[in-house]
Chains A and B, each alone.
Chain A
Amino acid sequence: MCMPNKVSRLWAALLAAAAIAATSACSTSDGGDELFVYSGRNENLVRPILEQFAEDTGTDIRLKFGDTAELAATILEEGDRTRADVFFSQDAGALAALASRGMLAELPDTALEIVPEKFRDPGGKWVGVTGRVRVIAYNTTKLTAADVPGSVFELTDPKWRGRVGFPPTNASFVAWVSALTEEVGRDQAKAWLEGLEANDAKTFDNNLATLEAVADGEIDVGLVNHYYLYNEFEQRPGSPVANAYPGQDAGGEGTFVNVSGLGILQGTKQGAAARKLVEYLLGDDAQEYFREETAEYPLRDGVDPLPDLPALDSLRTIDVPLSDLGRDLEGSLELLKEVGLT
């Protein structure tokens, strides 16, 4: 039986290689004087600007990328032993959740004041960096701009049966439901969700999948964040999709603006570097970077959004404090569950 011997020699060689790989990796474990950033924002989108910060300011940084909610859960499991100095979150809800559990330190006023009041925590524990607007994305081969309903509440009309899609478990969708609930009351919000469900609306895992379903013609309209459109054009040039802003008519419900944002962890030993990073990402260069690379709204006063986007202050929006949404999220989730959407 010569075969097994050959195999086991191969096996032994591979094992040795694996052991070397595993041990060499261990040596990089501790880095006490680096600024450790946990980023729930995508690596492709934010690594360049974070590395630019490191270079410009001579700061050593370590980056950990993941899903926003999973990283927030990680920080909560780590508790006061967290390795994170700064948390870069995809949405306000995760920041508010960490702030309400006492995990975040107060930010300096110099950083907070860069951003309009409604895009930061009144307690000063987190600050928005970029804005993202909820839109109705529609398929342009099936609909013209005039066909798209002016209000999301019209989507429960039977003529939209089976033509609407949204991501019920997506954090920014849930935040939007919270905002709507705040504005029109729980009963009307619930009736709207039940109407969508009864109207055979389709549910998706996330914004991206929802927008792709619009482009593929699986659905005619989808409720997503505004910037997915730009990525879709990059992935599939000429894709038949466009954005419409809901609730803009006089007396309309308005659309909802969420933010990606930053918080500094309570126990950080890198306070100075962390504050420098926050101010850097709110600076002109970084804000312009986000506009160009992610098509999000810069939140710094005086930095304009992309030319084909409506100005933030020209939009009718639901002005529920983002910091309150953290508290309401569970209520909204409960609502979505009652209706049977999650």
Chain B
Amino acid sequence: MVLPVVHLAVRATEAPDLVDLLTSRRVTEATASTLVLAATVTSIAAALGVAMAWVLERTDVPAHRLLGIWAALPLVVPTYVLATAFKDAFGPGALLFELPGVVGFRGTATALALSTYPYVLLVARAALASVDPALEEAARSLGDGRRRAFARVTLPLVRPAVAAGGLLVFLYVLSDFGAVAILRYRTLTMAIFTEYRTSFDRSTPAAFGVVLVALTVVAVALERVARGRATVTRAVAGTRTPVRQRLGPMRWPVAIAVAAVPAVAVAVPAAVLVYRASLSTGRSEPAGVVARAAVTSVGLSLAAAAACVVLSIPISVLVARFRSRAAGVVEVSVVAGYALPGLVIALALVFFSSRYAPVVYQTATLVVAAYVVRFFPEALGASRSAVAAVDPALEDAARSLGDTRWRAVRRVTVPLVRRGLFAGGALVFLTAMKELPATLLLRPAGYDTLATRVWTGAVEGFYRQAAPSALLLLVVSAFALGPLVRGARQVSPS
């Protein structure tokens, strides 16, 4: 997972004027606008995600199970589809109604916040669900009001999860190309694509990439601070369901408000796709092609999700239980892949695998490897929060009662962290379904995923051809969402 960083560093040092380049106005401006966008999107996504998690976990909002799945639905929409739909629906020449600033910062930030808040929502829900309500009740019995108890007891317990979700959002924004390209907001990633496209020079984009890696290091460090001292978080299994706050007459208005946010992110793109496709007289797509692409997408994404979950277990134990500097280095290096544009990852893998691993070059294995490099932190964030929430004393207790070390892990820790692992696997699966740049370059000849079919159609404006694949991408992913959200949350014990 550090290969892309090594590759970037090598390419960047080939630039004749690296220092001048790194301090030039172009780089500093792109860096500043990237930071502004990432910070804005992270704040909005964190606020939306935590608020929705609280409503879903701690109030008597109606239909909260259905609402929970619905709320995570924007995860299935690729940013390039969402951004195109926003531009069509609300941009100049709007199909719906024109909103000022859709093209530019405001539109880009809105589209990205809507795409990413589920990252916070899922981990915040998992965390809220695993907090022992007895703690809050204890605080209340000692005289705290409901709000005060939530703020003093529960919030600190879910803070690591929110910080982890926020980090994912922040880094996702750094690497996004779809929304910034379509809604025209210049970030470092946009600059990297521009350099490749126009100058065929590989050292300048690499220098931009190095700046992205530096931003990642800072973001990870900040998150470690925001996460706070992991030693305060303790969760146990088999606790009672917390008493849900009564919303009274606000039940339905709150439900509608929670439902409206994902509706904008899902219904608008779906409607625009159908409308554009119905208008077009161009070529359409044979059903067989779409079906094959769907099977390929699901297979590759599942393989990536499984690989990420398996890999995340030892690393999350390392970073959650041993807060050493080495653990920090490990974390930064695995997270870097997430913040880099898919094109950069893909070219690094082209370089290394075509030379040193020709057996896997241009095979599905390499595509899966690229997904793991790109999306591993999604699994790691969830697994780490889960592992951090398990009191090692529970394992010690099991061992003192005669279990071997591994038996204690299997009987005590695994059931407690399972929901976190599911959440992580779900995120990786859904993100991999949408992945485009690395898939495009690394896929075996003749191999298509739903995302590459969408690209093949939309890049030359064949909307009628692109629409079925795009819609199927939404539908197939949505099917996965149900079991995965439930798995992530592990509904109240039966």
Instruction: Provide the bound-state CA to CA distance between A1 and B237, in Å.
Output: 11
Q: Which residues of A contact B194 (CB under 8 A)?
A: 169, 342
- Please tell me if the beta carbons of B491 and A3 are within 8 angstroms of each other in the complex: yes
Q: A10-B483, A44-B465 are in contact. Are A213 and B92 (CB under 8 A)?
A: yes
Residue among B351, B425, B494 with the highest chain A CB neighbour number at 10 A: B351
Q: Which residues of B contact A7 (CB under 8 A)?
A: 422, 483, 486-487
- The answer, among B196, B295, B456, for a CB contact under 8 Å with A69, is B196
- Stretch of B34-42, B110-118, B251-259, B360-368 at the chain-chain interface: B360-368
- The answer, among A28, A66, A70, A329, for a CB contact under 8 Å with B198, is A329
Instruction: Provide the bound-state CA to CA distance between A84 and B300, in Å.
Output: 24
Q: A26-B365, A74-B441 are in contact. Are A67 and B197 (CB under 8 A)?
A: yes
A123 within 8 A of B: no
- What's the minimum C-beta distance from A180 to chain B, rounded to whole angstroms? 15
Q: Which residues of A contact B444 (CB under 8 A)?
A: 25, 28-29
- Please tell me if the beta carbons of A73 and B200 are within 8 angstroms of each other in the complex: yes
Within A233-270, which residues are at the interface with B (CB < 8 Å)? 234-237
- Number of inter-chain CB pairs below 8 Å: 198
B355 within 8 A of A: yes
- Please tell me if the beta carbons of A212 and B196 are within 8 angstroms of each other in the complex: no
Q: Which residues of A contact B481 (CB under 8 A)?
A: none
Query: B-side binding surface: helix, strand, loop or mixed?
Result: helix
- Please tell me if the beta carbons of B302 and A171 are within 8 angstroms of each other in the complex: no
Q: Which residues of B contact A169 (CB under 8 A)?
A: 193-194, 197-198
Query: A-side binding surface: helix, strand, loop or mixed?
Result: helix
Q: Which residues of A contact B363 (CB under 8 A)?
A: 25-26, 28-29
- Please tell me if the beta carbons of A62 and B446 are within 8 angstroms of each other in the complex: yes
B62 within 8 A of A: no
- What's the minimum C-beta distance from A211 to chain B, rounded to whole angstroms? 8
- Please tell me if the beta carbons of A81 and B358 are within 8 angstroms of each other in the complex: yes
A109 within 8 A of B: no
Instruction: Provide the bound-state CA to CA distance between A208 and B441, in Å.
Output: 22
Q: Which residues of B contact A205 (CB under 8 A)?
A: 181-182, 184
- Please tell me if the beta carbons of B299 and A232 are within 8 angstroms of each other in the complex: no
B393 within 8 A of A: no
Taking residues whose C-beta sits less than 8 angstroms from the other chain, chain B's interface range is 35 or more
A43 within 8 A of B: yes
A218 within 8 A of B: yes
The count of residues in chain A whose C-beta lies closer than 8 Å to any C-beta of chain B is 75
Instruction: Provide the bound-state CA to CA distance between A174 and B462, in Å.
Output: 25
- What's the minimum C-beta distance from B434 to chain A, rounded to whole angstroms? 17
Q: Which residues of B contact A72 (CB under 8 A)?
A: 200
- Please tell me if the beta carbons of A204 and B184 are within 8 angstroms of each other in the complex: yes
A184 within 8 A of B: no
Q: Which residues of B contact A3 (CB under 8 A)?
A: 486, 490-491, 494
Within A133-173, which residues are at the interface with B (CB < 8 Å)? 169-171
B324 within 8 A of A: no
Q: Which residues of B contact A62 (CB under 8 A)?
A: 445-446
A22 within 8 A of B: yes
- Stretch of A13-21, A111-119, A186-194, A302-310 at the chain-chain interface: A13-21
Q: A7-B483, A81-B354 are in contact. Are A234 and B280 (CB under 8 A)?
A: yes
- What's the minimum C-beta distance from B453 to chain A, rounded to whole angstroms? 9
- What's the minimum C-beta distance from A228 to chain B, rounded to whole angstroms? 8
Instruction: Provide the bound-state CA to CA distance between A14 and B463, in Å.
Output: 32
- What's the minimum C-beta distance from A194 to chain B, rounded to whole angstroms? 16
Within B291-314, which residues are at the interface with A (CB < 8 Å)? 295-296, 298-300, 302-303, 306
CB within 8 Å of A: which residues of B? 26, 91-93, 181-182, 184, 191, 193-194, 196-202, 276, 279-283, 295-296, 298-300, 302-303, 306, 343, 346-347, 350-351, 354-355, 358-365, 368, 415, 418-419, 422, 425, 437, 440-441, 444-447, 456-457, 459-465, 483, 486-487, 490-491, 493-494
CB within 8 Å of B: which residues of A? 1-4, 7-8, 10-11, 14-15, 17-22, 25-26, 28-29, 36, 42-45, 62-67, 69-74, 76-79, 81-83, 93-94, 97, 169-171, 174, 203-205, 208-209, 212-213, 215-218, 228, 231-232, 234-237, 326, 329-330, 333, 337, 342
13 cross-chain CB contacts under 8 A: A18-B299, A18-B302, A21-B364, A25-B363, A26-B364, A73-B196, A73-B347, A74-B441, A169-B193, A169-B197, A170-B198, A235-B282, A235-B463
Q: Which are the 6 A-B pairs with shortest beta-carbon distances?
A: A216-B93, A21-B299, A218-B92, A25-B364, A18-B302, A97-B200
